[in-house]
Chain A
Amino acid sequence: MSSFWRAALAGFSALFMLQACGQQGGDTRDLTDADREYQHVLMEALLDAQEGSVIELPAGVFIIERGLSLANVDDVTIRGAGLDETVLSFAEQRAGAEGLLVTSADNFTIEDLAIEDSIGDALKITGSENVIIRRVRTEWTSGASTDNGAYGIYPVLTTNVLIEESVAIGASDAGIYVGQSDNIVVRNNRAEYNVAGIEIENSMNADVYGNTATHNTGGILVFNMPNLPRPGHGTRVFDNDVFENNTRNFGHEGTPVANVPAGTGILVNSNDDVEIFDNRVSNNRTANVIISSLHSAGFSELGVESDFDPYPERIHIHSNSFEGGGNNPDGMDLQALRIALFGPTGRIPDVLWDGYVNADRMVDGALPDDLRLCVSGAQVLNADGPGDYGNPRVATDEHDCSHEPREAVELPF
């Protein structure tokens, strides 16, 4: 076994993709009585938005046939009548890679509406400061399907972003995805039936708390990907409910999350300074927590810029409650590992680590304390990735350490 990520298991992955291409779930929203005229009013309102504009949307179901966009205007608020009351349906969308694309709009607020069934990403906000996303629902209404758009709520290249009391369902990549951003609060949201429930990627200073992530392939992910201008670090994941994220992986092969094993609770990949505490994590069938390096993701080394740091460092896992999980991991190799080490009814320990460490940083054969993976209150399985998974072992004692608590993220609004 060269990896416990799914990508390396090529034959298995191919088989899996075939299974994953089918559609699951019910019918999409019935639009028979939906309004088709309001879209023109809304498009004009977005084109004509001025600094300080408040665009109020009435209750109702509105068919939108092309991607909406707001660009280069500050202090705009878009407000509906509620995330179940004001529905923008893109089920008949003809053009546009997003449902709503917001570009270079500082002090932007969107609240109390739903974006459904967009062809691509539902709500993408890029290059903006001071962004509030509140009580927004993004959903693909036919359930988890590879046919769904990639991201639900998707701020990228933003500074000071708050996502709260929102709902993300059915994204074929991540339901709530914060990318390449700084100063982030994601709280009290619900993410379900996405490949990744909530994902923080290449971002700095994020607090993810009070959320419910369930029925995703992976619940909460903290990622770094190579070749981007900004590596991320500094995330707190706390007081979340992360349970039964066992939905088959229906992502598109080639996307980073398509390799995430079904049944992953919390996953940290190649990211540093992550504190995971006070969460209630249960019944995620591969492992409740996975800590891994890009080495485990099965990508070509040729395609990684040489300055990329693939090692997760200063990870601190403590004060969580774990229950169940690890009993039926995704992938034959992990399944074999489980049975070999823990018996036919045994389970993968709550923290599964691929075992990669930066050899350049070793001192006397060990990582300095301030770089280590520290775990208390859970068992740790070191899968021995560097040894080609030849000597996996429970290594809980080696992670009996702690890091300074990270400070809370403060938003200026």
Chain B
Amino acid sequence: MKRAIALLAAALALAACGNDAANTPPASAPVDMAAWDNDPAFHTSGNPARLEDWGQFRIEGERLVLAQGVTPYALNTALFSDYALKLRTVWLPDGAQPAQWHDDETFDFPVGTVITKTFYYPRTAGSFDAVALELDPNAHFDGAALDLSAVRLIETRILVRREEGWAAIPYVWNDDQRSTRLARSGAFVDLTLLEAGGRSQALAYQVPDVNQCAQCHVTDASDGEIRPIGPRARHLNGDYPYADGEQNQLDHWRAAGLLTGGPQADAAPRNAVWHGELELSGLALEGAARAYIDINCAHCHSRTGHARTSGLYLEPADPAGPGLGVCKPPIAAGRGTGNRRYSIVPGDSHASIFTFRMESLRADAMMPELGRSVAHEEGVALVARWIDAMAGGC
């Protein structure tokens, strides 16, 4: 009996993990649709209770529409987050100066900038919690709106540039898909991920808490400031399918008054575009692998990031050698070694810690430490192929 009660308690507690679960309106509860009529707004302080309060989106029927002046963007190669698709937007208040160009660092955005990232999955014919694995980064988004009849919205994160610096504020979408709630202490969303071939896997999607946001977004631990990671020249320097046609994002941003300075796109830093292609070799392989490692690892694995303690530096300009992991023994990897001896053994991905940690699902072994509960098979295959193509040994 005692055991039964304990199990029941455990089940209840799991249900309670979705922060503020009691606040989730049941499907039949009326939704405050007027809340979506807000104009885009900059909140100078505090944590607004709903995404709706930021006015970055409107809901029109079955469409989540970007508000006037809100610009969608994409990264050439993106961070993996449990196969979630991501709708990224940027908005600057009227009269704000455009962001200042940097060659390597995040652009210097003006006070009032609001960046959003909405995580979603294509729905399936099955239950609401069964979602589809989709590699096309623009699936169900037409450049202006997301098709709500086809997707399940999970969370939207706000990065807002305030007078005192950037702040990260996470919101979770309620099951009605028409309302959100603030989730400063994060949440778990248990999903099932279905692949086209019929395979399915359980996915314990984790919405980060506010302090976990900082684990990735504090890219310079010496100042402790949160910064956006994606809006850098090399990640944005590619074409985007805007509603009115395809255009290079850097050109578009400059024309739209979002960005100033910097060289023309063809002379600017540019990471490879990669969305899961596997049969790469030579320079294409090198470029894709380094772009993938850049956006997935280098926000921590730099000389200023949280993982500087490891001596593993994975920014694009870091040369091959021990700093990149070649024949490098781990420092404090614990279980993360996978009983392998070096981060990268040239020519042998199966002996390399690098791929072990990308494949692992254990919290103390997996890399990145946050943001995934399943392995990115295409990403692992890409990095493995890159390591296997390296000459030499240890």
- Is B13 in contact with A255, judged by CB distance below 8 angstroms? no
Q: Which of B308, B311, B334, B369 contacts A252 (CB 8 A)?
A: B334
Give the contact-size bracket for chain A. 35 or more
Chain B residues positioned under 8 Å from A172 (CB to CB):
334-335
Q: Mark B355-385, 1 if CB is under 8 A from A, else 0.
A: 0000000111110011001000000000000
Interface residue SS majority, chain B: loop
Given A172-B334, A255-B334, does the pair A69, B322 have CB atoms closer than 8 Å?
no
Q: Mark B309-330, 1 if CB is under 8 A from A, else 0.
A: 1010000000001110011111
- Min CB distance B267 to A, Å, is 33
Query: Closest A-chain residue to B222, C-beta based?
Result: A127
Chain B residues positioned under 8 Å from A95 (CB to CB):
188, 204, 206, 363, 370, 373
Q: Which of B19, B209, B323, B335 contacts A150 (CB 8 A)?
A: B335
Chain B residues positioned under 8 Å from A258 (CB to CB):
337
Whether B196 is near chain A, meaning CB under 8 Å from some CB there, is no
- Is A149 in contact with B364, judged by CB distance below 8 angstroms? yes
Given A103-B306, A304-B322, does the pair A120, B364 have CB atoms closer than 8 Å?
yes
Given A46-B211, A127-B221, does the pair A97, B364 have CB atoms closer than 8 Å?
yes
CA distance A226 to B362 in the complex (A): 27
- Min CB distance B337 to A, Å, is 3
CA distance A121 to B365 in the complex (A): 11
Query: Closest B-chain residue to A48, C-beta based?
Result: B184
Whether B339 is near chain A, meaning CB under 8 Å from some CB there, is yes
- Is B306 in contact with A254, judged by CB distance below 8 angstroms? no
CA distance A304 to B323 in the complex (A): 9
Q: Mark A217-255, 1 if CB is under 8 A from B, else 0.
A: 000000001111100000000000000000000001111
Given A47-B185, A69-B211, A96-B363, does the pair A252, B329 have CB atoms closer than 8 Å?
no
Chain A residues positioned under 8 Å from B373 (CB to CB):
95
- Min CB distance B164 to A, Å, is 12
Whether A70 is near chain B, meaning CB under 8 Å from some CB there, is yes
- Is A71 in contact with B363, judged by CB distance below 8 angstroms? no
Whether A32 is near chain B, meaning CB under 8 Å from some CB there, is yes
Which of B48-56, B212-220, B277-285 contacts the other chain? B212-220
Given A121-B364, A300-B394, does the pair A254, B221 have CB atoms closer than 8 Å?
no
Interface residues of A in 136-188 (CB under 8 A from B): 146, 149-151, 154, 156-157, 172-173, 177, 179-180
- Is B353 in contact with A254, judged by CB distance below 8 angstroms? yes
Whether B29 is near chain A, meaning CB under 8 Å from some CB there, is no
- Is B330 in contact with A255, judged by CB distance below 8 angstroms? yes
- Is A103 in contact with B322, judged by CB distance below 8 angstroms? no
Q: Mark A255-294, 1 if CB is under 8 A from B, else 0.
A: 1101000000000000000000000000000000000000
- Is B363 in contact with A120, judged by CB distance below 8 angstroms? yes
CA distance A345 to B306 in the complex (A): 51
Question: Taking beta carbons and an 8 Å cutoff, which residues of B are in contact with A?
Answer: 2-3, 6, 9-10, 13, 16-17, 19, 184-186, 188, 204, 206, 209-212, 214-215, 218, 221-222, 224, 303, 306, 308-309, 311, 321-323, 326-342, 353, 362-366, 369-370, 373, 392, 394
Q: List 24 A-B contacts (CB under 8 A).
A: A36-B10, A40-B19, A40-B185, A47-B209, A69-B209, A92-B10, A94-B204, A95-B373, A96-B363, A146-B335, A150-B335, A150-B364, A172-B334, A173-B332, A179-B309, A225-B311, A225-B329, A227-B311, A227-B323, A228-B331, A252-B333, A255-B334, A256-B329, A302-B326
